[in-house]
Amino acid sequence: MLVAVDKPAGLAVHRGQSHDPVHALQLVRDQVGAYVYPVHRLDRGTSGVLLFALSAEAARNLGQAFESGTVEKRYLALVRGAPPDRVRVEHALSREDGRPPQPATTEFRTVARYGRYALVEALPETGRTHQIRRHLKHLSCPIIGDVRYGKGEHNRLFRTEHAFHRLALHATSLTLSDPETGAPLTIRSPLPEDFARTLKALETRLATVTI
């Protein structure tokens, strides 16, 4: 009933997100040899766990689980700034269609600090467009590589010094009820090589400065 994939950064989920000739839905459909239905969305620049369903009914049921908040979503983001150790952001987000802002809530936990930068874990409780990115901007801690809500000077620094050319946001895991058994099911995605390499370089630089 489910197909889980490890989406790379830069790949759109479906044609509605971009005019690229290739998108995740098409690639997954070709690999499994059947039509697949997107269950949730990841920004084009975000990597990590992405779910598809093999039937419209399964997609509808899973979509309702995401909407109701019964699916736990975890992300890692590398940000500029000094976020709190833990913080719950309840900040409504405006909509592009001009309708009133929608309530949006994200829990953040700082995992590591690298001088002017930090690695944070994000648990969004709602699913608004660009929610994590916009809530981190609200905290004055924009994500590295975010060309829309971030800081160009820091994005350029990471491209130049770390060859890091992507949005530093990764969907690490999804926890939901197994559609067949009802048992808890956690699907994880390891940190991509370029993301892990960049964190290692920041750790090494900080250790060198501290010594």
Q: What pLDDT is stored for residue 18 in this prediction?
A: 62
Please report the domains of the chain, with CATH numbers, ordered by start residue: 2-210 (3.30.2350.10)
Other residues' Cβ atoms within 10 Å of the Cβ of residue 40: 20
- The DSSP-derived string for the chain is -EEEEEEPTT--SSGGG---S--HHHHHHHHHTS--EE-S---TT-EEEEEEESSHHHHHHHHHHHHHT-SEEEEEEEEES---SEEEEE--B--TTSPPPBP-EEEEEEEEEETTEEEEEEEESS--TTHHHHHHHHTT-PBTT-TTTS-HHHHHHHHHHH---S--EEEEEEEEE-TTT--EEEEE-PPPHHHHHHHHHHHHHHHHHH-
Residue 211: what pLDDT?
39
Per residue in 52-95, pLDDT tens?
Answer: 999 999 899 898 999 888 999 999 999 999 999 999 999 999 87
Handedness of CA 53, 57, 60, 64 (dihedral sign): negative
Task: Give the active site residues.
Answer: 43
Question: In the structure encoding, which two tokens stand for residue 66, read together?
Answer: 């995401």
Contact 130, 17 (CB under 8 A): no
What is the total residue count of the chain? 211
For residue 43, give the amino acid letter: D
Model pLDDT, residue 186: 96
Please state the separation of Cα 130 from the chain's center in Å.
9
Phi, psi (deg, nearest 5) at residue 40: -145, -175
d(CA 11, CA 37): 17
Kindly tell me if the per-residue pLDDT of 138 is higher than 70: yes
What is residue 208's predicted lDDT score, i.e. its pLDDT? 58
Q: What's the pLDDT score for residue 49?
A: 97
What value does the mean pLDDT of the chain take? Answer: 92
- Please tell me the distance from the alpha carbon of residue 184 to that of residue 178, in angstroms, as a whole number: 6
- For the cut 50, the answer to whether the pLDDT of residue 210 exceeds it is no
β-strand pairing of 184-188 with 169-177 = antiparallel
Residue 52 phi, psi dihedral angles, 5° rounding = -130, 155
Which residue's structure tokens are 């994939």? Answer: 5
